Structure formats: C-alpha cells, structure tokens
Amino acid sequence: MRSFPALASILALVLAGCSMPEEAPAPSSLTFTSDGSSISGPSQAEEGWTRIVFVNDGPGIDQAALYRLDADRGVEEFRAALALGEAPSWAVAAGGVAGAMPGARAVALVQLEPGTHVVGSFIPGADGVPGAAKGLLASFDVVGREGPLPREPTSDAEMTMVDFGYNASALGKGMHSVRVANEGSQPHEAVLVALAPGADVEAFLAAMGPGAEGPPPGAVVGGLAPIAPGGHGYIELELAEGGHAWICFVEDPASHAPHFALGMTDPFQA
C-alpha cells in the first residue's frame, strides 16, 4: 500500500499539470496630452487591446490619431513625408481618438501591434497644414507582452464603416461603448459631433471649411481616428440629449475629396 506522503506527491503533480490558464487582463491605458503645439505621452507600450485617453489642453480642436510604421521605416521619414503633404503607404492607420474640444477628454480603445507608432493631430489648421507637420507629433514603441493578451472590450452598440457611409446602432443619451469596424476598401474614421440646437451637419461642415468665420455650430465630442480596412476599435462616450452626427474627414485618394463630401455623414438624435 502506498504511503500518504507518496500519494500527496502524486496528487500535487497531477494538480500542477491541470492548473488553470492565466486569466486575460483588462485593457491597459495610455494617456496623451496636447497643449496645441506638442503632444506628450509614454514612449513605450505593450501589445494588445489598449485604452487611449486623450486630454486636450490646447486652444483648438485636437486629436490623438495613431499610425503604425513599417519595420524598415522611421519617425523622421514620416515627418519628411508630412512636410511634403504625402500620406505614406507604409504608415498604417491604427485608430486612436478622433477629436476633442479644448479642455475636454476623450477615449478610444485600439488593438496595438508590435512596432513603432506615431501619434499626433492631423487636423488642418487655418493655413491648411496639419498640426502633426508643425510639431504635434510624438512616437512610441509597442513591444511584446509576457502572459495573456488583454481581453477585447465589450460594447452595447455597433457601427460598420463602408465606402462611403455608416451603418450604426441607434444611440440614446447616456454612457455607451461602441464597436466600430472598417469594412471599406480604404481608411475611415468616425468623428462624433454634438450639434448645436437647430443646426444640421451641413451647417457644421460649412463652418469648418476654408475661409469660414466664427465657431462651428457644434462640438467634437470624440470618436475613432482613421483605421485601416479590416480593423476595428471601440469608442467610450457619454451622449447628451440632442442632435449628433458621425463624420469622416479622410481624403479619398482618387478624387481628393473628403469622405463627407462623398456622403459619409450620419446625423442622428440622442
């Protein structure tokens, strides 16, 4: 008959071989802050689902859009391409926060892949030059993670982006987590605008155009920055009652028209 210590040793070995897999952690967080002339944040992050928190301490509408660079490309090459007004094909749109008003904070969740990333504002100024070309650009490296990758976020609403439109769940006032997927053939974004009472999306876009005077009749309250075809991310937001609109400002490479001019807007009431 086996002794009790021997049986205990066998049981310990069996239990060790049947240990439960390590639970996937919640998404980690990265915070980027803009003062209107530069953007600051961490220099390194781990791969997997990540909450991007953008704080706008600058004087105008700003954003924290992410691009992942090909392995053989560098940040200075990206800056040089911006100076020439080019959108390099070796920089993959990776989501981020589409926009926030001065003094505001907005959140998006994206799946980071290993490699060098840039984060910045690609909103054109009054001179037509994006902020990233004037210093509103930073970089960070995404490294591999030991252990399980963070679990994917959950959502209570969904949106698909296509060429050129949105298919979105109805949203009421209050807190929401929206899953946004790009099913189109080119990068798309989902900028969320809270419209002023009595204003429509056409009036807002006209006030954002070249030569327009005065503030637009509405406020950018978050959204998902451009993301490549096949990609998806999440937006965390709180809606007030009233009129809103989803808008895509990405430029179509064939016509050079912004996607909203090709029909990519979706007004709705919360």
pLDDT at 4: 47
- Take residue 130 and report the two structure tokens written for it: 């994006």
Cβ(153)–Cβ(180) below 8 Å: no
Q: Mean pLDDT in each 10-residue stretch from start to end of the chain (270 residues)?
A: 50 52 91 97 98 97 97 93 87 98 98 98 88 94 96 98 97 97 98 97 91 89 98 97 98 96 97
What one-character-per-residue DSSP string does 60-88 give?
Answer: S-EEEEEEEEPTT--HHHHHHHHHTT---
What one-character-per-residue DSSP string does 119-158 give?
Answer: EE---B-TTS-BGGGGT-EEEEEEE--SSPPPPPPP-SEE
- Please check whether residue 173 lies inside any domain of the structure: yes
pLDDT at 112: 98
| Range(s) of the domain holding residue 147 | 28-269
- Take residue 265 and report the two structure tokens written for it: 């807007």
- Please check whether residue 17 lies inside any domain of the structure: no
- Please check whether residue 22 lies inside any domain of the structure: no
* Phi, psi at 10, each rounded to 5°: -65, -45
- Please check whether residue 65 lies inside any domain of the structure: yes
pLDDT at 1: 44
- Please check whether residue 142 lies inside any domain of the structure: yes
Supply the DSSP symbol for 258: B
C-alpha distances out from residue 240 to 74, 197, 214, 269, Å: 41, 12, 24, 10
The b/e string for 40-63 (b: 16+ C-beta within 10 A; e otherwise) is ebeeebbbbbbbbbbbbebeebbb
- Please check whether residue 7 lies inside any domain of the structure: no
- Please check whether residue 164 lies inside any domain of the structure: yes
- Please check whether residue 20 lies inside any domain of the structure: no
Q: How many domains does the chain have?
A: 1
